[in-house]
Structure 1
Amino acid sequence: MNAAKRHEIFACLKTANPNPTTELEYRTPFELLIAVVLSAQATDKSVNLATRKLFPKAHTPEEILALGEAGLTGFIQRIGLYKTKAKNIQATCQMLIQQHRSEVPRTRELLEQLPGVGRKTANVILNTAFGEPTIAVDTHIFRVANRTGLATGKNVLEVELKLLKAVPKEFRQDAHHWLILHGRYVCKARKPICSACKINHLCEFKDKSI
């Protein structure tokens, strides 16, 4: 795919959704961190249902740590892998208090040292909370990038690095959200809704649905 077509794709996505953002509900970088950790292998909807009850009760590292694993589990037990996530969140809160003055670190290296935080989660925090032009490649972005021809790759890191080079600088800050939302609601895994696609005429997918 050439640069002109890539530019037009993101111009179309911007026209359709000028101010994209995450569907996770949060008010602070810490709340976003907790929500993103909870969202692994879970839907944003299920996470929001849990955090709407959790955050009014505990929304700082100290308050969530005070809940203990058992107390935290009571809020998140309907989310997949909740036991592991509760353990990781408690450990993360402890590290934030002891090593970062209860603040969410602003570098990838420090973020990835937190339990339950990998490259994808770090990218989401850097992009959404701190405004850095990172791209967190999840299953939706991986699918859209490969299917459309925007950035083909065999693994998420390869796609991420290609997207960072391929996405025009003016669109890089919001590209993450545009691609996720496009994959979630239009370019779906089983059957993409090509008839409703704003970039259908630019997409290089060979097996488009009618």
Structure 2
Amino acid sequence: MKSTQSGKATVFIVDDNPAVRDAIRWLVEQIGLNAKTFASARDFLTAFQPGMRGCLVLDIRMPGMSGIELQEKLSREQAHLPVIIVTGHGDVPVTVRAMKTGAFEFLQKPFNDQVLIDAIQAALGKYSAVWEQEDKRSQANRSLAALTRREREILELLRRGKPNKVIAAELDLSVRTVEGHRANITEKMGVKSLGQLIELLLKSDPDNVPN
């Protein structure tokens, strides 16, 4: 399983029934994952942070904000948390609404323990690629922020496929100076070659396609 910000995937359990919360938490911990429980959608929102990594196991009918309303709010905020809906009151309209909002799975209570485990592991496995891409983008952004204005200018020209001599002429610099800046750029970006540098930019931001 891919690591998360806390070092291990976390399953967030939101259900107003304490017995259900405890049962799912115990089940999740038996397969070596972290688990955090919340008695209401509002409680979860209070603790929610955009960078959270893991899976949300969510009841539908709860006092105050419903599970569907919470799911829709997270969807509007583009939170990359797969949602598994578990409910004892599921019907076709609710299922359709949850799926349209992007629910990963919809399970009817009482559910089979192994079915829930399989759903959680499938959700975490699928979203690990999304989180990995986010991590690469964040790392690239941090590295880019460390570049000087001149280094960013040279990086942009390198990204466009311009050789050192052309860059030197355009910026009124010596070729040796351009080479020095280029060495600094690759060191700050944590790469060893221009090819790796372009690959990092492409992976972190699809819009960074060389012209």
Structure 2-normalised TM-score? Answer: 0.29
Which structure carries more helix by proportion? 1
Which structure carries more strand by proportion? 2
Larger radius of gyration: 2
Greater RCO (Cα-Cα under 8 Å, separation 6 or more):
1
